[in-house]
Amino acid sequence: MLRKTEPMKTRSGTLQRAFVMTVTACVLGACSDAVSPQTDSPTTSPATPSSTPTAPPSDAPADLPTSVVAPECEEAPGRTVEQLEDVTVPATVVPAVVDASGQEVAPASEVPAQLVDAGCVIRYDAPGGCLGAVEVTAATIPAATIPGVELTGVELPAATTDTVTQPGDYAPEVCQLERDGRIETVSRAGVVREGFSRDGVARPGRTRPERCDDDGCTPALEVPTVRLEPVRLPDVDIDPGRLESRTIARDVSVVSGEDRVSYVAPGAVLFELERADLRPAAEEALRTILDTIVPTADTRLLVEGHTDDLGSASFGRRLSRQRAQTVADWLVDRGLRRSQVTVAGLGESAPAVPNTSEANRARNRRVVITVLR
């Protein structure tokens, strides 16, 4: 169909004649888009302006920030990291403000969705017969803001929540044996990060009545109330750790717990003082340990040497490693592959009991064989 159009007035009338020719051609079926007088217009109809409020579709997924691992929660040698489940705070729609005439006077918006990083639990590796340190990191619930409104006769400031941070908790490594009745144990305290919340907040609603003066009337309107709900991160509670020690042969004990088993042989049974070659009596102690482990092709062992606090720290580390290597060589000679055995010399860094007497120092001079898997 042709729409009735007002003739375009020009000095020469040239444009009028051109339009008449175009219309005539169309009546004869010879017009096309190429000669349409609306060649600069889009092929689809332009959107008709509307006073209907605009708002994000209710079924549209909120765009969440990408979860980022905090530096303190990154994987690293010597520790195992458990990422705690992040908390998703959905976006909150801030409705448009429409006056009584149907005119949108403030567009719709939203408080963006948030992904609250809950932090992590870090379990640090420890020598055999010790309980490793455990840490739960701090966590923060960031602030969120409902935007304010400024209209004629109505002014509502933005409403912002607080930023809330809960500190973490830490339990250090423990190697000290304690006597619990007749059983020697190693105990580590539990760690707790208490649950915490960010309070909700509201931007109150406001009604503006119609106002008229000599210049006309200002339509009534109502600004709706907008609320942000509270956000909570739950408790994180890591149970206390416990290793129990029992004797399996002359002065040889096994310490077990937290999915680990370690065999402890006193240095006095295996070595002469300040020496790293095995005594004849060491054969019986090591054979007892090996027969108890019953190694397979998949078995992995960690052999760690320990000394007391006498002498220099460097001498202690060197001697403890030499002793651990001697025991590892003995295990390899009995059928284990070299790749199945790892060696470490810890010197005086992880005493089983305080170095407060010669008897205690003798207990700290030891070799520990831990079954890794």
pLDDT tens sequence across 283-298: 999 999 999 999 999 9
Does residue 133 contact residue 187 with C-beta atoms inside 8 Å? no
Q: Where are the domains of the chain?
A: 73-238, 241-371
CA dihedral 349, 127, 303, 290 (to 10 degrees): 130
Residue among 192, 189, 188 at smallest CA distance from 174: 188
Average pLDDT, the chain: 84
Quote the pTM value.
0.73
What class is the 241-371 domain?
A: alpha beta
> What does DSSP say about strands 196-198 and 211-213: parallel, antiparallel, or unpaired?
unpaired
Residue 26 has what pLDDT?
A: 41
Residue 348 has what pLDDT?
A: 96
At 216-270, the pLDDT tens digits run: 999 999 999 999 999 999 999 999 999 998 888 878 999 998 888 999 999 999 9
> What span, in angstroms and rounded, lies between the C-alpha atoms of 80 and 135?
11
Residue among 49, 19, 61 at smallest CA distance from 36: 19
H/E segment holding residue 89: strand 87-89
69 falls in which pLDDT band (50, 70, 90)? confident
At 130-169, the pLDDT tens digits run: 999 999 999 999 999 999 999 999 999 999 999 999 999 9
Residue among 177, 160, 354 at smallest CA distance from 264: 177
10 falls in which pLDDT band (50, 70, 90)? very low
Does residue 137 contact residue 119 with C-beta atoms inside 8 Å? yes
> What span, in angstroms and rounded, lies between the C-alpha atoms of 317 and 366?
13
Q: What angle do CA 104, 107, 108 make, to 5 degrees?
A: 120
Instruction: Give me 113's structure tokens.
Output: 């969705």
CA 20 from centroid of its chain's CA atoms: 72
Q: At what angle do helices 282-293 and 313-333 cross, to 10 degrees?
A: 60
% helix, strand, coil for the chain, step of 5: 20, 35, 45
Does residue 120 contact residue 137 with C-beta atoms inside 8 Å? yes
182 falls in which pLDDT band (50, 70, 90)? low
